Structure 1
Amino acid sequence: MTEHTRPRVYGAGHDGTDPCATLSDHEYIELSGGPLDGQLLDVTGLTDDERLAGAYLITPHSAYGPGGRASYGPTFSRPWGPWVWEGDVP
């Protein structure tokens, strides 16, 4: 039997809180592929345009080293998630 693990929330846990804790009144999108694969991104408060644009997310595991960014965004067929990895950017 394998142990089920909860996905990590991007950017959470740096202040000593549970990095897998989600808030019931927040909305999350799963990140698929790349260095942040399987993490959840809190998109609460983003406009529709911002959600459709995607984001460059800081990651310690980028092709450009620690502090590089990974580009994630929606796909044409699934604009509201999950967001897929589009590549690394400096």
Structure 2
Amino acid sequence: MDEERFMRGRVYGADHEDPDPGPRAGRSYRVLVAGPLDGLLLDVTDWSPQTLTEGAALATEIGRFGPGGHTRYGPGPTPDGQRWFWEGDVR
């Protein structure tokens, strides 16, 4: 992967074998801040306004509860709402 692609970020849930795991044109993303998914982009294109306000529990194998666990992220105190902050790991 070249440096430009790396700097664009990796999308949560992208296949590890995908040669271009970065954001796609026409999609909406949130940047995940802190926690086990720090720095990943979350595709929220088709999410409801309610979910965008509440946040979400995202599956991850690298959180506190290992395989089968989830980690919560939600909107933080940023005015643009483009960053979601880690709220903790859940089962």
Return the TM-score normalized by structure 1: 0.84
Cα RMSD for the two superposed structures: 1.9
Structure 2 residues without counterparts, runs of 5 or longer: none
Within the alignment, does 1:25 sit opposite 2:26 as a pair? yes
Q: 1:11 aligns with which of 13, 28, 31?
A: 13
Which residue does 2:67 correspond to in 1? Answer: 66
Cα distance in 2, alignment partners of residues 19 and 68 from structure 1: 26
| Identity across matched positions, percent | 41
CA 35–24 in structure 1, closer or farther in 2 if over 3 Å, else same: same
Residue 35 of structure 1 aligns to a residue in which SS?
A: coil
68-77 vs 3-12, which deviates more? 3-12
Task: Quote how far apart the aligned CAs of 1:57 are.
Answer: 0.3
Q: How many equivalent pairs are there?
A: 87
1:76 CA displacement: 4.1
Moved over 6 A (4+): none
Determine if contact 1:62/1:69 at 8 Å carries over to the other structure.
yes
Q: 1: distance between equivalents of 2:21 and 2:12?
A: 9
Against the structure 1 CA distance between its residues 23 and 85, is the aligned structure 2 distance closer, same or farther, given a 3 Å change threshold?
A: same
Query: How many angstroms apart in 1 are the aligned matches of 2:68 and 2:14?
Result: 16
Output one character per residue of 1:14-56: Cα deviation in whole Å (capped at 9) or x when no partner: 5x32352321010111000000000000000112111011000
